[in-house]
């Protein structure tokens, strides 16, 4: 037997439990990973609470988590490029928080040497989401990009990846996170009433694109600041996107994209900030932390 975090009904974080499950076996084209760390996203809490019923398929008892890092301990038929004992980072759909995870070999990449497990477990979802979003917004050298929710998981990645592309970045955050954003290379501004004027004061040349990684209250000010509404997008404000005719940003995660992010990390051009780790047995506490909406970087579940 193995263990996994599951929920058997929609509800608050207390529906999460660590239970015994049958040990998975790697099939053709798959590897089995002994998980060391798995990031927690707002999306995970939305699925667990039932907020996205009808959009996400759930089968109780449902596992959780969409990104992981660990050690391959079993190789399926036809898999090349990996060996038992390899340290890897991977992405999956709602089954990452488990002792053993069976995953397609095409969804894992080698972990950079020396990368801490917690950081590795937090790279894939936010890193790929931010990279996809910036690509869809056509962020390029010389642009000024406004990132709402810049101190969160996706925001932290978006700030850095926009800087890698040669863009200037303005990031919204609470004042306590302004020093953090400066370290990442962004010009910080406080969110809330008066945001438009504050952004114009630090960017008199204007704003070329806006990424809403806060998922609430960011679309309206973006429309005042960005001329081309095709260069405004959100990763989570479904209602606001419909109301204002702004597109939801998203795309397909790939191993090639994840490998590129891992190389940026190895080269010292991308950092992963983990605010706190929790053992799998405290998954409920980890979800509650994410649901506060005030996480700097990521919350990560770790095997202990």
pLDDT above 70 coverage of the chain, percent? 100
Tokens of 216: 């609430």
> Using CA atoms, how far apart are residues 165 and 264, in angstroms rounded to an integer?
12
How much is the pLDDT for 56? 86
Given a cut of 90, whether residue 55 has pLDDT beyond it is no
pLDDT digits (tens, 9 = 90+) for 123-151: 999 999 999 999 999 999 999 999 999 99
How much is the pLDDT for 238? 87
pLDDT digits (tens, 9 = 90+) for 210-246: 999 998 899 999 999 999 999 999 998 988 999 999 9
CATH number of the structural domain 126-248: 3.40.50.720
> Using CA atoms, how far apart are residues 273 and 297, in angstroms rounded to an integer?
5
Q: What angle do CA 126, 127, 128 make, to 5 degrees?
A: 95
SS3 83: coil
DSSP β-bridge partners for residue 67: 91
How confident is the prediction for the chain on average, in pLDDT?
Answer: 97
pLDDT digits (tens, 9 = 90+) for 159-187: 999 999 999 999 999 999 999 999 999 99
Are 218 and 212 a contacting pair, CB within 8 Å? yes
> Using CA atoms, how far apart are residues 215 and 143, in angstroms rounded to an integer?
22
The CATH H-level (homologous superfamily) assignment of domain 2-123+272-302 is: Medium-chain alcohol dehydrogenases, catalytic domain (3.90.180.10)
Are 272 and 125 a contacting pair, CB within 8 Å? no
Return residue ranges of the chain for CATH 3.40.50.720. Answer: 126-248
Are 42 and 298 a contacting pair, CB within 8 Å? no
How much is the pLDDT for 115? 98
- Assign 43 a pLDDT band (cuts: 50, 70, 90): very high
DSSP 129-180: HHHHHHHHTT--TT-EEEEETTTSHHHHHHHHHHHHTT-EEEEEE-GGGHHH
Rounded mean pLDDT, 248-272: 97
pLDDT digits (tens, 9 = 90+) for 115-128: 999 999 999 999 99
Return residue ranges of the chain for CATH 3.90.180.10. Answer: 2-123+272-302
Given a cut of 90, whether residue 269 has pLDDT beyond it is yes
How much is the pLDDT for 251? 92
Q: Which residues, 6+ apart, have CB-to-CB distance to 118 below 8 Å?
A: 37, 274, 277, 300, 302
> Using CA atoms, how far apart are residues 207 and 199, in angstroms rounded to an integer?
9
């Amino acid at each position: 037997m193995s263990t996994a975090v599951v929920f058997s009904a929609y509800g608050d974080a207390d529906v999460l439990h660590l239970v015994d499950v049958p040990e998975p076996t790697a099939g053709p084209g798959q590897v089995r990973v002994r998980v060391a760390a798995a990031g927690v996203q707002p999306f995970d809490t939305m699925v667990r609470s039932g907020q996205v019923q009808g959009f996400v398929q759930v089968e109780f008892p449902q596992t959780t988590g969409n990104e992981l890092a660990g050690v391959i301990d079993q190789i399926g038929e036809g898999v090349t490029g990996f060996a038992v004992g390899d340290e890897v980072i991977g992405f999956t759909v709602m089954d990452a928080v488990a002792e053993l995870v069976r995953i397609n070999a095409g969804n894992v990449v080698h972990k950079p040497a020396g990368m801490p497990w917690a950081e590795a477990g937090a790279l894939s979802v936010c890193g790929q989401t931010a990279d996809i979003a910036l690509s869809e917004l056509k962020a390029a050298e010389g642009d000024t990009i406004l990132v709402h929710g810049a101190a969160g998981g996706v925001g932290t990645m978006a700030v850095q990846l926009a800087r890698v592309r040669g863009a200037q970045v303005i990031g919204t955050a609470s004042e306590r996170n302004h020093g953090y954003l400066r370290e990442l290379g962004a010009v910080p501004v406080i969110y809330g009433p008066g945001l438009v004027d504050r952004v114009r004061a630090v960017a008199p040349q204007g704003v070329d694109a806006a990424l809403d990684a806060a998922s609430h209250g960011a679309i309206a000010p973006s429309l005042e600041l960005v001329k081309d509404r095709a260069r405004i997008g959100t990763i989570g404000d479904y209602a606001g996107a419909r109301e204002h005719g702004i597109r939801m940003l998203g795309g397909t995660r790939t191993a090639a994209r994840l490998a590129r992010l891992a190389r940026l990390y190895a080269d010292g051009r991308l950092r992963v900030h983990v605010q706190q780790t929790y053992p799998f047995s405290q998954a409920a506490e980890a979800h509650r932390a994410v649901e506060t909406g005030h996480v700097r970087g990521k919350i990560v579940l770790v095997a202990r």
